[in-house]
Amino acid sequence: MNGKVFGALLLRDAIVARREIVALLVRTAFQPVLLVVVFGYVLPSMGMIPRGYATTMVPGVAALCLSMASLMSVAMPLVVDFGFTKEIEDRLLAPIATDLIAVEKVIVGALQGFVSAAIVLPLSYLVSGRAAGLSLSHPLLLIVVMLLTGAAFSSFGLWLGTVMQAQQMQVIISVIFVPMIMFGCVYYPWSGLEHLPVLKYAVLINPVVYASEGLRASLTPAVPHMPLVAIFGALLVSLAVLLSLGLRSFRKKAIT
């Protein structure tokens, strides 16, 4: 019974996501593509930054898109579902374990993040051209990194969506998301922080760092990047911790 209901919920959310794919892409991919246009084409054409900068930036921007799309695809609907209308009650009344309802949302969020990043990457390549230096010589590594990153940030969204209120979103964005992006090695490689040793190790608490470095290892393997063991280890730990926190808060929210 759990398997059939889980599959039905997954199919239902997949259909809804397909119908809202344009809104999802505008919400999550528009800004990353603009960043690539400015830093990968406009500024290099003006001679203000080297053309090779796109090689460092494009994987980081794709990681940003993947991370934020996965997180927001879970967090925002949950805030609404647990809000005044209590729409989540339809799911909670289904003949399925409560934890599986939460896991299903994490899977859908990870897949939405994967789709967003998969669209941003070719668009970024078209904008920046060969200057991006992207390589698809490790497709399996790329897919695994993207799915693992999506799952970790969907779990983060599960936790945020069950502990915050709608009116707190602006504060969350300012206090949490902006520092995560600025110090997530999106616009620079982690190895470039060697001249700032305190900052180099302080940023390791930020899961965006491992998403950015993981995509650099997958798409630009010739560029210095964090060891794969550290990337996968940190993403797995992030997934385990965030999913545990998310499931716990989801159960608590579901019975109140």
Domain ranges for the chain? 2-254
Q: For residue 210, what pLDDT is reported?
A: 96
H-run or E-run covering 133: none
Q: What is the mean pLDDT of each run of 10 residues along the chain (256 residues)?
A: 76 77 72 79 80 82 90 85 71 78 90 87 74 77 94 94 77 80 91 90 94 92 89 96 94 81
**Residues whose CB falls within 8 Å of the CB of residue 38, separated by 6 or more in sequence, listed in order:** none
Alpha helices for 82-221 (secondary structure H)? 89-92, 98-128, 139-163, 169-172, 178-182, 197-202, 207-219
Distance between CA 22 and CA 249 in Å, rounded? 31
Q: For residue 130, what pLDDT is reported?
A: 60
**Residues whose CB falls within 8 Å of the CB of residue 37, separated by 6 or more in sequence, listed in order:** 127
Give, in degrees to the nearest 5, the angle at Cα 77 between 75 and 91. 115
Read off the pTM.
0.88
Distance between CA 113 and CA 64 in Å, rounded? 10
Q: For residue 1, what pLDDT is reported?
A: 59
Residue 166: alpha-carbon gap to chain centroid: 20
| 204 C-beta neighbours (distance < 10 Å), count | 13
* Tokens matching residue 16: 């809804």
Backbone φ, ψ for residue 189 (5° rounding): -80, 155
Q: For residue 227, what pLDDT is reported?
A: 92
